[in-house]
């Protein structure tokens, strides 16, 4: 067994904080900046937060579920943590880079691990034009919104919007409309992971739209460009009997 130096971080939840105190009494810990592995205690939301917070470190993150939703987390156990870390399997994610231009011409970049979503801001439906790799694919989509999801995010908001679940390593992204009104029968598309997807807001002053990359929201956008950013990689560790690929397959057979 190769012993790893670990850092323990916890969500702002009583259960997560108690687990952090217990584990810190069992194992020697270091700061996240000096760790070989970061152990995150919480739910999927905290895993997403931790991936963003420690993105620049490039350190693998091993989550244990002390929150409500734990799709990206391993089961919580106090004993055998070092052995579990030594045997864990790694899943590597590449985030989406969102580049927005608002109606005043200001630009902003943000990264999304789960999805980039465009959402209407007011009572009027959004009207969007969609292009893929510079080619216009839809001249007008009338909807509440649309999202572009990674395989890691395909079981989150994308699934709730009736989008497809994507196996890890499939090399595709899910483009999923949210309450599409016209064209009424359009249910979205699967795109190559290398695709550059552009959204143009039609009448942004009359029908304002916000763009969201995980935690970053930009309001009153006029154009949004999204592509996978392979210059940034994120590593999540899973117990080998419950790796992420197996979880995604199982999710597709849930009643």
Query: Taking Cα atoms as reference points, which of 6, 63, 52 lies closest to residue 32?
Result: 6
Residue 138's DSSP bridge partners are 130
Q: Which of 44, 102, 203, 239 is catalytic?
A: 44
Largest CA distance in the chain: 62
Strand partners, 225: 99, 198
**What whole-number distance in Å separates Cα of residue 186 and Cα of residue 144?**
14
CB-count exposure of residue 54 (10 Å: 0-12, 13-18, 19+): buried
Q: What does DSSP assign to residue 76?
A: P
The sign of the dihedral angle between the CA atoms of 227, 98, 215, 204 is negative
Locus of tokens 């497809």: 164
Asked if 144 is an active-site residue, the reply is no
Q: H-helix or E-strand containing 194?
A: none
- Please give the full DSSP string across 35-73, using - where no structure is assigned: -SEEEEEE-HHHHHHHHHHTGGGT--EEEEE-SS--TTS
Beta bridge partners of 176: 147
Q: Known catalytic residues?
A: 44
């Amino acid at each position: 067994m190769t012993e790893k130096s670990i850092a323990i971080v916890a969500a702002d939840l009583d259960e997560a904080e108690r687990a952090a105190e217990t584990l810190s009494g069992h194992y020697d810990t270091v700061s996240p900046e000096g760790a070989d592995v970061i152990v995150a205690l919480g739910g999927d939301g905290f895993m997403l937060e931790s991936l963003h917070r420690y993105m620049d470190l490039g350190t693998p993150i091993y989550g244990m579920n002390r929150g409500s939703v734990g799709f990206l987390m391993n089961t919580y156990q106090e004993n055998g943590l070092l052995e579990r870390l030594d045997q864990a399997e790694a899943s590597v994610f590449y985030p989406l880079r969102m580049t927005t231009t608002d109606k005043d011409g200001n630009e902003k970049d943000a990264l999304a691990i789960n999805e980039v979503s465009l959402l209407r801001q007011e009572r009027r439906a959004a009207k969007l034009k969609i292009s893929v790799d510079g080619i216009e694919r839809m001249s007008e989509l009338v909807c509440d919104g649309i999202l572009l999801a990674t395989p890691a995010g395909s079981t989150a908001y994308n699934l709730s919007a009736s989008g497809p679940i994507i196996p890890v390593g499939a090399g595709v992204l899910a483009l999923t409309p949210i309450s599409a009104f016209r064209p009424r029968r359009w249910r979205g598309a699967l795109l190559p992971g290398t695709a550059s997807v552009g959204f143009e807001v039609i009448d942004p002053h009359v029908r304002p739209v916000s763009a969201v990359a995980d935690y970053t929201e930009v309001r009153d956008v006029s154009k949004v460009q999204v592509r996978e950013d392979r210059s940034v990689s994120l590593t999540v560790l899973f117990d080998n009997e419950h790796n992420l690929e197996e979880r995604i397959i199982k999710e597709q057979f849930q009643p």
